[in-house]
Amino acid sequence: MNQNDKIFARALKVLPGGVNSPVRAFRAVGGTPLVLKEARGAQVVDAAGRNYLDFVGSWGPLILGHAHPEVVAAICEAAAKGTTYGAPCKDEVLLAEEVISAYPGIDQIRCVSSGTEAVMSAIRLARGATGRDGIVKFSGCYHGHSDALLVKAGSGLATFGVPSSAGIPADTTHPTRVLQLDDSAAITDLLRREGDDIAAVIIEPMPANNGLLLQRKQFLQTLRDETRKAGALLIFDEVISGFRIARGGAAERYGITPDLVTFGKVIGGGLPVGAFGGRADLMAHLAPLGAVYQAGTLSGNPLAMASGLATLKVLNRDHGWKQLEELGAHLDATLGKVLESSPAPARLIREGSVFWMSLQPGAAPRSAEAIEAEAAQRYSKLFHSLLKNGINIAPSAYEVGFLSLAHSRADIERLAATVEQSLSA
């Protein structure tokens, strides 16, 4: 038993399933998870000393790569002055100014400590601002593990929310409606029937938690138009897409401005962070100005703020999004071509620096219901073949991959060549 396996065996005794987040457990692909001990650039090293070319990037925040020198320096400088204050600090103001200047249509943000917390708070704000209880979400979109949103669709086009986890009272999800993605008629019909009861419609404008389910701009525009007619708020969950697919996220890329937005991942540069924002009139409903309560001891943590600021500084200075788009185009030309010519059904789906290998025939799926279960079995074999050859991708057929500024064209070519070899076998 190597050191990696020994540590995970100990983890199984003290952590449920041996992990602190379920997808890390390798249950979807089988085998023993990697226990990582260090990472730098585009490489990670496990406890047994094995190196891997990494396309997980801690699930998205490491847009500059692991342990970027300027981010590490900013964190160390901040830590030397104190790790938390529980009071305002200058860097939270600077980060807020940077986020607001980049993202269309928002006047203020509030920082929190996770994407789940950001979405939970945005939903509460939407309800408080509108005086309504109803929420509409879409199957295949993940908005964190808060009770009201951890629901799945039933058999109809629109259903009452059914909890998809034990421990959630049915009454908690009763006001939640679940629709399929890419169905303009369903959302239009629901809002025209129940619009007076709907506080908000929430969507990942680039759904990236159930495969990469790229949406038509016309569908997103329908959401914008119909929520306005109903007096409901449109919330973009940009925890993954924010500051990754463009400086102004999906709102900039698709030219559609939501009422509220949630952030995470990139704006913390690898430290725990989240934020939600919107117009000043909506944000004024938050305490201490308004009646919607939200608080957090570590909100605006000085280390996280420094890390996020350093990350955004490098992206702006080095034309990061342009570089990432060029890397993405090279991924299309290499890995995309390999998948297209594969003897098994496969295709590359990409938006900016986010990509997904869809291992099923036919057009790229736009809804969770269009994903075939058999594709997950094929993915498991591909995953282990890549891991054996020193490439780390997500341990789930439904999770996406991420490029970073630390990746080179040669790294992408290595990924493509290894995938080609694996699919041939």
Is 259 a known active-site residue? Answer: no
In the structure encoding, which two tokens stand for residue 411, read together? 């790294």
- Residue 118 β-bridge partners: none
For residues 309 and 301, give the distance between their C-alpha atoms in angstroms, rounded to a whole number: 12
Is 142 a known active-site residue? Answer: yes
- Nearest CA among 367, 353, 360 for reference residue 178: 367
**Cα radius of gyration rounded to whole Å, the chain:** 21
- Residue ranges of the alpha helices (H) in 68-161? 69-79, 90-102, 115-130
Contact 151, 162 (CB under 8 A): yes
Is 265 a known active-site residue? Answer: yes
Query: Which residues does 319 contact at the CB level (< 8 Å), separation at least 6?
Result: none
For residues 35 and 67, give the distance between their C-alpha atoms in angstroms, rounded to a whole number: 17
- Nearest CA among 363, 414, 356 for reference residue 390: 414
For residues 159 and 337, give the distance between their C-alpha atoms in angstroms, rounded to a whole number: 40
For residues 177 and 195, give the distance between their C-alpha atoms in angstroms, rounded to a whole number: 12
Give me the helix-helix angle, 320-331 and 302-317, nearest 10°. Answer: 70
For residues 53 and 84, give the distance between their C-alpha atoms in angstroms, rounded to a whole number: 34
Contact 189, 136 (CB under 8 A): no
Contact 380, 242 (CB under 8 A): no
Q: Which residue in 52, 142, 254, 379 is the catalytic one?
A: 142
Contact 335, 53 (CB under 8 A): no
Q: What DSSP designation does 284 have? A: T
C-alpha torsion sign, points 358, 360, 158, 253: positive
Q: Which residue in 54, 237, 259, 411 is the catalytic one?
A: 237
Q: What phi, psi does 388 have (nearest 5°)?
A: -60, -30
Query: Which residues does 256 contact at the CB level (< 8 Å), separation at least 6?
Result: 205, 217, 220, 221, 224, 250
For the residues of 22-50, what is the DSSP string, one character each? GGGG-TTT-SPPP-EEEEEBTEEEETT--
Q: Which residue in 182, 254, 259, 265 is the catalytic one?
A: 265
Known catalytic residues are 142, 237, 265
